[in-house]
């Protein structure tokens, strides 16, 4: 049951102060949901799978900083590694052996990686691989999937999913702080003002999981296409796995037309398995974007690929890319500690993650059915999304399918869960993340809250 003793006064005051000095009171739009008290909850601390806000309310956390915290908040080994690095100096403007060690671990894990370049975010990684792909092919056009998100790079913020989609919908109703549904921008339009249409026009769009549409696009423009950039498991229209043959088909298509295949594994890298989605699906991209988990919760990004491409990057080659804090010792140390935990015990962490996520998924489906609420849950490894579909189990395989879901119902569910001490992504179009810290009792508590929250959804619909 919801806890009537919960208050949100301190979060409300914190939000008032934040609004005076930060646009919308936040550093990223998806954090600006209206919480139980009418404002976002402000988090004070986290430990394991639990976060606590400034009013001392505790929540079981499935946001996990949107993916990086696969071993939970404030993991002892990760904290110790980062603290040790901080004690030696936060950054030097010079190479460190930590970069080489983490790069070596990434190359060992990812089938399609010979070399790695570290940057500071997934957005930087995507920006960098686009430049590299254009240089390598001598072509200008990119292809991305409708609803996939690759950071806020100008040429990639076109029909983007996740936060850009949620904000566009909210603004169509004059409410930038809620997460219910609405209309989306035209397919040809950038997802944000400030992006020249001429630049957006260098990005071609195709539906995710539609190989025939991609083939038609390449037949028309293949000689101009530098790269196809794709989330191998879409995570920014909600979790949508690739259909059988889709990734292999893209590989064949890019090879045929002389374009590069780029996997955006910022979310899936080390999340869906030790070698990421490319190992899980036995797929072979030319370049890979990474982030999130490889920094253990600190700002990080990276791109990786075969040696012949990566040696085009400065100073080995002429494709320029630089960053003052790239490969900084704090992120490298936290990332190394996280990957070491995941690598130990012949994959025991991934076995635990799979079991926990499967239990959560099955429990959500059962609870929704009991409440008479139609639900589809998509899951790959320890990332999942419940979609409030028109019929239970209706497939969600692309952006259009995701857009038919009842986002107003998700908003009711989100707030009901928050009242019951479970912190979920505020948008229907985000993934939930399970960590190794989500023990059985926490999953059981989550499902108990979900039963009541699905009842709240049914009541809101008058059923």
Catalytic residues: 149, 264, 292
- The Cβ-side half-sphere exposure at 95, using a 13 Å CA radius, reads 8
Q: Is the CB of residue 422 less than 8 Å from the CB of residue 62?
A: yes
Question: Could you tell me the CA-to-CA distances from 159 to 95, 167, 183, 228, 343 in Å, in that order?
Answer: 38, 12, 12, 15, 36
- What phi, psi does 301 have (nearest 5°)? -160, 165
Q: How far apart are the C-alpha atoms of 263 and 411, rounded to whole Å?
A: 31
Of 98, 46, 140, 457, whose CA–CA distance to 300 is shortest?
A: 98
Helix axes 76-88, 329-343, angle to 10 degrees: 150
Q: How far apart are the C-alpha atoms of 379 and 241, rounded to whole Å?
A: 8
Q: How far apart are the C-alpha atoms of 457 and 429, rounded to whole Å?
A: 18
Q: Is the CB of residue 265 less than 8 Å from the CB of residue 277?
A: yes
Q: Is the CB of residue 77 less than 8 Å from the CB of residue 335?
A: no
Q: In what order do the strands lie in the sheet with 376-380?
A: 376-380, 383-387, 432-433
Question: Would you call the peptide bond into 315 cis, given omega within 30 degrees of 0 as the criterion?
Answer: yes
Q: How far apart are the C-alpha atoms of 149 and 123, rounded to whole Å?
A: 10
């Amino acid at each position: 049951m919801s806890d009537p003793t919960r208050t949100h006064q301190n979060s409300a005051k914190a939000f008032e102060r934040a609004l005076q000095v930060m646009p919308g009171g936040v550093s990223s739009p998806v954090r600006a949901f209206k919480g139980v008290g009418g404002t976002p909850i402000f988090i004070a601390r986290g430990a394991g799978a639990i976060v606590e806000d400034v009013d001392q309310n505790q929540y079981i956390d499935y946001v996990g900083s949107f993916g990086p915290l696969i071993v939970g908040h404030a993991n002892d080994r990760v904290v110790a590694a980062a603290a040790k690095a901080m004690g030696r100096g936060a950054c030097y403007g010079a190479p460190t052996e930590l970069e080489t060690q983490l790069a070596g671990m990434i190359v060992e894990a990812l089938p399609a990686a010979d070399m790695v370049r570290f940057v500071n975010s997934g957005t930087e990684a995507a920006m960098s691989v686009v430049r590299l792909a254009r240089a390598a092919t001598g072509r200008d056009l990119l292809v991305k999937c409708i609803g996939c998100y690759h950071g806020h790079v100008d040429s990639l913020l076109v029909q983007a999913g996740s936060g850009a989609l949620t904000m566009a919908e909210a603004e169509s109703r004059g409410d930038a702080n809620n997460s219910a549904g609405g209309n989306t921008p035209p397919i040809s339009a950038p997802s944000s003002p400030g992006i020249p249409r001429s630049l957006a026009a260098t990005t071609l769009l195709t539906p995710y999981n539609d190989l025939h549409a991609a083939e038609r696009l390449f037949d028309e423009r293949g000689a101009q296409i530098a790269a196809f950039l794709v989330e191998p498991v879409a995570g920014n229209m909600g979790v949508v796995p690739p259909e059988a043959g889709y990734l292999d088909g893209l590989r064949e298509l890019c090879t045929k037309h002389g374009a590069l295949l780029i996997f955006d594994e910022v979310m899936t890298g080390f999340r869906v398995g030790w070698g990421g989605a490319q190992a899980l699906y036995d797929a072979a991209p030319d370049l890979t974007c990474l982030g999130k988990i490889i920094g253990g919760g600190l700002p990080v990004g990276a791109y990786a690929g075969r040696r012949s491409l990566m040696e085009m990057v400065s100073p080995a080659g002429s494709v320029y890319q630089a960053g003052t804090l790239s490969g900084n010792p704090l992120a490298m140390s936290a990332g190394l500690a996280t990957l070491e935990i995941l690598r130990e015990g012949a994959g025991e962490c991934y076995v635990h993650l799979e079991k926990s996520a499967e239990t959560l998924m099955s429990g959500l489906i059962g609870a929704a059915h009991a409440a008479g609420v139609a639900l589809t849950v998509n899951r790959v490894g320890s990332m999942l999304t419940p979609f409030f579909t028109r019929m239970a189990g209706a497939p969600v395989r692309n952006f259009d399918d995701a857009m038919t879901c009842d986002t107003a119902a998700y908003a009711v569910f989100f707030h009901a869960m928050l009242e019951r001490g479970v912190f979920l992504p505020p948008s229907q179009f985000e993934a939930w993340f399970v960590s190794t810290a989500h023990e059985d009792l926490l999953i059981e508590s989550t499902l108990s809250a979900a039963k009541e929250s699905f009842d709240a959804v049914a009541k809101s619909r008058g059923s």
